[in-house]
Chains A and B, each alone.
Chain A
Amino acid sequence: MWKSSESHAVPVETETKVVPVSSGSIVARSKASAVKGNEVNRIAEGTKFTGDFASGSDIRIDGDFEGRLYCDARVIVGGKATVKGDIFCSYIDFNGTMLGGNFYVKDTLALKAGCLVKGDMYFNKLQVELDAKFTGKCQVMEAADFDKAAASMTDLLAE
């Protein structure tokens, strides 16, 4: 009996796995970064943020955001969220409402079904679902142009 329980106690050799991150795929990235709850920024429903926000980790917005947002990672905007102002990020999944401002997306901008966007969009890749509504200019942007546009926000983070 306890021989079998002893065998359970033998520590399993832990492999240090290097998960390949393909820069182009959001799915691959989200699986690779097993982020803890406290490492993700959140703006919950019923919350209003006004100001400048700069971060190196992911952010999820379900409330109202007004101002400038810089995120050197992934941004998820929930269906009930409203956003006003410039957003600089690497990836964005947008379900909410954008009341005015610009998107500067280093990699992929994904407009989900039911979202509403009023503003200009600069991105490397664009994905639009059926029923996503947007009015504004769309333009493909190189990484260097992104860095130039986001310079004021990266300064805030470096302070």
Chain B
Amino acid sequence: MDTNTNLNDVNRIALGTVFKGQITSVNDIRIDGRFEGRLESKKRLVVGEHAVVNGDIISNNVDFSGTMSSGTLYVEDTLSLKSGCSVNGDLRFKRLQVELDAVINGTCHVIGDKDTKPLSPATPAKKQESHGNVEE
């Protein structure tokens, strides 16, 4: 995260917080609590190691250290899965970085130019290229 970003410009869901619903933001988001629903950020999303996420996430860049129980991660640029994270679900990204000890159970797809953003959870994005399952 940029060091020059104002602290008040970053959305935060702190540890011990439960949020169910929709978030749409033009700013960065950091999640340390529990999130359920749909999240859309034009910038970076950071999911902390204690965070639990369930639902559809659309963001430009994602740093993921937490747990995703189910849902879709749609990352327009780089998806970075950190050591110790656990992801169950559908991953769509342009670029992927996986650290040792990251757990992935699900499908990985590279987003092509023709692919469209899943505007609603019911709209499936087109498959371009499958990289198969990546485990540990």
Please judge, given known A-B contacts A54-B17, A55-B33, whether A42 and B22 are in contact too, CB under 8 Å: no
Residues in B whose Cβ lies below 8 Å from that of A54: 17-19
- Tell me the chain A residues, 4-43 only, with Cβ under 8 Å from chain B: 37-43
Please judge, given known A-B contacts A46-B27, A55-B33, whether A41 and B14 are in contact too, CB under 8 Å: yes
- Taking a contact as CB atoms under 8 Å apart, the answer to whether A156 and B18 are in contact is yes
Max chain B Cβ within 10 angstroms of own Cβ: one of A49, A52, A57: A49
B13 contacts partner chain A, Cβ-Cβ < 8 Å: yes
A60 contacts partner chain B, Cβ-Cβ < 8 Å: yes
Q: Contact residue range for chain A?
A: 20 to 34
Mask: chain B, 3-18; 1 = CB below 8 Å from A; 0 = not: 0000111111111111
Per the bound structure, the CA–CA distance linking A141 and B19 in Å amounts to 27
- Taking a contact as CB atoms under 8 Å apart, the answer to whether B8 and A60 are in contact is yes
- Tell me the chain B residues, 1-48 only, with Cβ under 8 Å from chain A: 7-27, 29-30, 32-33, 37, 48
Per the bound structure, the CA–CA distance linking A44 and B10 in Å amounts to 6
Q: How far is the CB of B41 from chain A (nearest CB, A)?
A: 9
Partner of B25, one of A47, A51, A60: A47
Q: How far is the CB of A134 from chain B (nearest CB, A)?
A: 25
Please give the number of chain B residues whose Cβ is less than 8 angstroms from any Cβ of chain A in the complex: 27
Partner of A53, one of B7, B9, B21: B21
Query: Can you name the residue of chain A whose Cβ is closest to the Cβ of B25?
Result: A47
Per the bound structure, the CA–CA distance linking A43 and B24 in Å amounts to 10
Please judge, given known A-B contacts A46-B25, A47-B25, A51-B37, whether A38 and B12 are in contact too, CB under 8 Å: yes
Per the bound structure, the CA–CA distance linking A113 and B27 in Å amounts to 28
Q: How far is the CB of B33 from chain A (nearest CB, A)?
A: 7
Max chain B Cβ within 10 angstroms of own Cβ: one of A38, A67, A157: A38
A-B CB contact pairs (8 Å), 26 listed: A38-B14, A38-B15, A40-B12, A41-B14, A44-B8, A44-B9, A44-B25, A47-B24, A47-B25, A48-B24, A48-B25, A49-B21, A49-B23, A50-B21, A50-B23, A52-B18, A52-B20, A53-B17, A54-B18, A54-B19, A55-B17, A55-B33, A56-B17, A57-B15, A57-B16, A63-B11
Q: Which 6 A-B pairs have the closest CB atoms?
A: A51-B21, A55-B17, A47-B25, A46-B26, A50-B22, A42-B12
Interface residue ranges, B against A (CB under 8 Å): 7-27, 29-30, 32-33, 37, 48
Interface residue ranges, A against B (CB under 8 Å): 37-57, 60, 62-63, 67, 156-157, 159
